[in-house]
Chains A and B, each alone.
Chain A
Amino acid sequence: NAGVTQTPKFRILKIGQSMTLQCTQDMNHNYMYWYRQDPGMGLKLIYYSVGAGITDKGEVPNGYNVSRSTTEDFPLRLELAAPSQTSVYFCASRRQTDTQYFGPGTRLTVL
C-alpha cells in the first residue's frame, strides 16, 4: 500500500489564484482529514469527512472547500488564495477506531 499520498509537494500561488490540493489513500479508510500547520505550531483541522459524500468543517475552514466523491480521494480547494494561507497542508485518514495516518504534506506559499 502507498498509504496517504498528496500532490503537489510544493506550490507557489499569487494572491487571488485558486488551486486544488490532492489527497488519495489506498487503505479503504472511511475517515479523512485536512490539516494546516504554520511554522512552529501544531496542526489545525480544516475539514474532515466520515465517508464518501459526507464532509464537515473543522477549526479553520474559511477560505477552503472540500469534496468526497469517492472513498479514496479527498481534495482540498483554495479559492482566492491569500497570504494567510501560506502553510504546510497535511491530509490524513483512518479506519473506524484506528489512529490517523498522515501524508507527506504540501508546502504552499501565497505571494
Chain B
Amino acid sequence: LAKTTQPISMDSYEGQEVNITCSHNNIATNDYITWYQQFPSQGPRFIIQGYKTKVTNEVASLFIPADRKSSTLSLPRVSLSDTAVYYCLVVDRSGGYNKLIFGAGTRLAVHP
C-alpha cells in the first residue's frame, strides 16, 4: 500500500481557494487517489477520487500530474464549515479488500 505525505495543518480565510498537496511516490498502477473529509465527532466522508489529470465535482477538484506521484485537492471559496481534517489515500480499486490506510491528515482551519 502506497504511503502518502501531506501537510499537518493549513490555515485559510473565508472565500479563499485552498489547495492541499499530497505526495505518494510509490503509487501502483491500480491505485486511485482518494480524499476523505472528517469533521469533529463524525466519521470520514468521501470527497473525491481520481486516477489521472483532473476530476471535479460539486465539492472539490482533484489535480493529478502525469507521473501520479502527487495530487492536489482544491477547495474553491472555502467557508467556515470547511474546517475539518482532510485525508489523502491511495486505494487499489482492482478488487480485493480495499483496505484504507489513513495518515494523520491535514487539519484545515478556515477563519472569518
Contacts and interface: CB of A to CB of B under 8 A. Distances in A.
Contact of B99 (A4, A58, A104): A58
Nearest to B102: A42
Contact of A56 (B41, B97, B102): B97
Interface residues of A, number: 27
B103 to A, nearest CB: 5
B43 interface: yes
Contact of A48 (B87, B95, B97, B105): B97
B70 interface: no
Q: How large is the interface on B (under 10, 10 to 19, 20 to 34, 35 or more residues)?
A: 20 to 34
A64 B51 CA distance: 35
A24 B38 CA distance: 21
B102 A44 contact: yes
21 contacts: A31-B97, A35-B102, A44-B102, A48-B97, A58-B99, A90-B44, A92-B43, A94-B98, A97-B95, A99-B34, A99-B46, A100-B44, A100-B46, A101-B46, A102-B44, A102-B45, A103-B43, A104-B42, A104-B43, A105-B42, A105-B43
Interface of B: 34, 41-46, 49, 87, 93, 95, 97-105
Interface of A: 4, 31, 33, 35, 40-45, 48, 50, 56, 58, 90, 92, 94, 96-97, 99-105, 107
